[in-house]
Structure 1
Amino acid sequence: METMSSTPQSQQWFDRAVQVSPGGVNSPVRAFRAVGGTPRFMTSAQGAWLHDADGTRYLDLVGSWGPMLLGHAHPEVIAAVTEAASRGTSFGTPSPPEVELAEEIVARTPVDLVRMVTSGTEATMSAIRLARGFTGRTRVVKFAGCYHGHVDSLLAEAGSGVVTLGLPGSPGIPAHVTADTIVLPYNDRDAVTAAFAEHGDEIACVITEAAAGNMGVVSPLPGFNQFLSETCAAHGALLVSDEVMTGFRVTRSGHWGLDGAQEGWRPDLLTFGKVMGGGFPAAAFGGRADVMALLAPSGPVYQAGTLAGNPVASTAGLTTLRLADDAAYARLDDWSAQARALVSSALDDAGVPHVVQNVGSMFSVVWGLTEPVHDFAGVQRQETHRYTAFFHAMLDAGVYLPPSAYESWFVSAAHDDEALTRMAEALPAAARAAAAATPA
């Protein structure tokens, strides 16, 4: 475990931060509460590397929680953003970049129309509102462990920071707000069938992460997403596929490119974020033309945003997507596969039971188990104390991992042989630390 004196500048910044921000951070997982120690305050980044306020250089396997598909400060993205900013940072009017970004999203995914917003939370919140408006129904089905942003009605058995901090699902949220949310085990077809048998004419939509990444990486079982699509269609409900995390990351068409494109189905609504903003606050939701037509000003379902479609953010996202060609995705997949093999080998050598789970280039480790897990209950059986020890050993060796066992690890097209060498050098000691770890 690192000592306070080893990170004096980060500690000073954190001491200042706690005086002006709750917990010293603007998003809970950044506070290191799950792993302990001093959060690192980063001051710059380039490619696959971060630099903190104390001048330490880290291999980055967080990637700003997913957006940095090409790596940090990609020169072409920076140049495009600089030029866009020089023309004005916000107009409050339509602008060409938002149209071009929407065209790129429509070309890559199974959506007819797109509405820009500024966060993944806003995207899922708006998609749920639209689904209720379209169907005239109120109930929403979600899955335990799937996180769809801090939307009141969806913070029931959510993953990500909620489980990381051990928080109850709905403090500050009136009971009636979550009363229409039906929470089911992920990957459980029987539970879905039973829910529709009981409430089918009341269910507006099923919302699911296309592949879960906020309880660690948990894939949908083969055919599960198609089953959801068919079940929703049979009962007049909509399927909302949350691709805020997987969208444009696991393939150029997101996770839908791994299953829906092959199986011949599509969600009714999709949500996007992270990669599509190129590191800026940008997100979107889109879907069938007849559903999207209900949005104001075309229809009666109201949704708006002062900075939605921001020209600088749209330029960053558009440039990122245009640079994300087949070669870039091949590099992501190759580096991720090599990294997963290194992690598994080191843990095997140290005698640490584990499972490395992945969806495309996204991956995470389930600690203390030996069989793949397929739902939230399975994930919660893991031995997270092993990750705490592993995390700090990797951090001491200059590798920055997500400060929570319940998060995906992210790589970028900038991760190269130097990055792989740093990973390989750090892993043996970290694996031994995980092996020696005991519960608190």
Structure 2
Amino acid sequence: MTIPLCDPNLCVSAGCTATVCIGKAIASNHTFYERSANVIPGGVNSSIRAFKSVGGEPYIVARGEGAHIVDVEGNRYIDLVQSYGAVILGHAHPAITAALRDAAGDGTSFGAPTPREMKLAEAIRERVPSCERVRLMNSGTEATSTAVRLARGATGRKRIITFYGNFHGATDALLAAGGSGIATLGIPGTAGVPEEAVANTLVVPYNVVPEIGNDVAAVIVEPVAANMGVIAPAPGFLEGLRAACDKAGALLIFDEVITGFRIGQGGAQAKYDVKPDITCFGKVIGGGLPIGAIGGSRAVMENLTPIGKVFHAGTLAGNPLATAAGLAALNELTPDVYMELGARARALATLLRDACSSAGIVAQFPV
């Protein structure tokens, strides 16, 4: 009979199974980070997690509980990140974990349609009326890249307009002057992206309606610029984009990967009453699991294969676990929940604004 001598999630001995390991059962954030760096470039699977911009080394998470996370050293933190917006209900929410257990018991991937993906698409359409048709995929980056391809295919045009400080994921054509600061003036600032990849990307100032030529396929925008300090749209900005796109025959794409199902049940487009042609989703709609989606009018969306000629496919698109978690999350996010979230956000913003004012710090807290 074997006796568990350590937790395999916390043990730093390679190959620990928790029933035979008699190695180092004392973990530290530094030890885990060092070990990760020997197998994962930079020790992280998303560059922002490396803490380079703030110094130091990342904490290594062992588990999450509601509004808290616990690292491998047992330190407990109030989590103000919540997986960068993906875990709106908090960590290990009972409705999410129950949905995942049920779904996993049925199988994890089939390469064929399932009822859950249909139901999640219906749930999105019910809450976001501009999305007459919805296509599921695997990430926010895939959503924005597919939206751009769809816009180009639907219009027969090449040029895309985006905005300084907006970030639309790690897709080559949009890695220009993003919120991550990786490139400027349509010249890529990251190795591996040739100038040709952004040659048809025009970057313009946020909150200023640009001139849109007849060679522009689409304007893609974060309706609230969440990647450069949460900058709200200026009065008339989104309305102006809608009118300018209509005049030029270009499509308007809202990247609601962050704002979707976060600032309200209908996202930013409901809050500001501006209807885009294509909407990109991610984060919240997966309940904390990898997911992305685009939605739009039937006329635009049916340019996608297998009906139209704009290709999109993916082995794990609409996978049973992400759709189960996403459905559970959306079902929990009732109008009353959004009212409570809004009240908490306003209260927190007021406290922060007052604290900054008392300290002589100039700051804005849009809510």
TM-score, length basis structure 2? 0.89
Deviation at 1:160, TM superposition (A): 3.1
State how 1:29-48 maps to structure 2 within 5 Å.
Answer: 29-48=48-67
Q: Partners in 1 of 2:356 and 2:232 — Cα distance?
A: 22
Give secondary structure in 2 for the equivalent of 1:207: strand
Q: Is the 8 A contact 1:139 1:180 kept in 2?
A: yes
Deviation at 1:176, TM superposition (A): 1.0
Give unpaired runs (5+ residues) of structure 1: 1-6, 361-440
Structure 1 counterpart of 2:90, from 68, 71, 76 = 71
- Say whether 1:356 aligns with 2:364: yes
Q: Is the 8 A contact 2:256 2:267 kept in 1?
A: yes
Paired residue type of 1:281: P
Paired residue type of 1:333: G
Q: Partners in 1 of 2:218 and 2:328 — Cα distance?
A: 33
Structure 2 counterpart of 1:105, from 111, 119, 124 = 124
- % same residue: 46
Q: Which residue of 1 aligns with 2:238?
A: 225
Give secondary structure in 2 for the equivalent of 1:355: coil
Q: Partners in 2 of 1:67 and 1:60 — Cα distance?
A: 13
Structure 2 counterpart of 1:304, from 313, 317, 338 = 313
Structure 2 counterpart of 1:283, from 285, 288, 292 = 292
Render the CA deviation track for 1:209-252: whole Å, top value 9, x for unaligned. Answer: 11110111011111211111111111111001100000000000
Q: Partners in 2 of 1:34 and 1:139 — Cα distance?
A: 33
Q: Partners in 2 of 1:220 and 1:169 — Cα distance?
A: 26
- Report which stretch shifted further, 152-161 or 200-209: 152-161
CA distance 1:169–1:219, shift in 2 (3 Å): farther
Q: Partners in 1 of 2:262 and 2:283 — Cα distance?
A: 9
Render the CA deviation track for 1:294-338: whole Å, top value 9, x for unaligned. Answer: 100011111101000001100100110011011211221122222
Paired residue type of 2:283: K
Runs of at least 4 residues off by over 4 Å: none
Deviation at 1:158, TM superposition (A): 0.4
Q: Is the 8 A contact 2:188 2:195 kept in 1?
A: no
Give secondary structure in 2 for the equivalent of 1:35: coil
Count how many residue pairs are aligned between Structure 1 and Structure 2.
338
Q: Which residue of 2 aligns with 1:174?
A: 194
Deviation at 1:161, TM superposition (A): 6.7
Give unpaired runs (5+ residues) of structure 2: 1-25
- Say whether 1:59 aligns with 2:67: no
Q: Is the 8 A contact 2:59 2:71 kept in 1?
A: yes
- Between 1 and 2, higher relative CO (CA 8 Å, sep ≥ 6) is seen in 1
State how 1:202-351 maps to structure 2 within 5 Å.
Answer: 202-260=215-273, 265-351=274-360
Give secondary structure in 1 for the equivalent of 2:101: helix
Deviation at 1:168, TM superposition (A): 6.1
Q: Which residue of 2 aligns with 1:28?
A: 47
Q: CA RMSD in A?
A: 1.6
State how 1:358-373 maps to structure 2 within 5 Å.
Answer: 358=366, 360=367
Q: Is the 8 A contact 1:141 1:203 kept in 2?
A: yes
Q: Which residue of 2 aligns with 1:124?
A: 144
Q: Is the 8 A contact 2:176 2:182 kept in 1?
A: no
Q: Is the 8 A contact 1:29 1:161 kept in 2?
A: no
CA distance 1:324–1:315, shift in 2 (3 Å): same
- Say whether 1:140 aligns with 2:160: yes
Choose between structure 1 and 2: higher helix proportion. 1
State how 1:343-422 maps to structure 2 within 5 Å.
Answer: 343-351=352-360, 353-358=361-366, 360=367
CA distance 1:24–1:168, shift in 2 (3 Å): farther
Q: Partners in 1 of 2:32 and 2:110 — Cα distance?
A: 34
Deviation at 1:354, TM superposition (A): 2.6
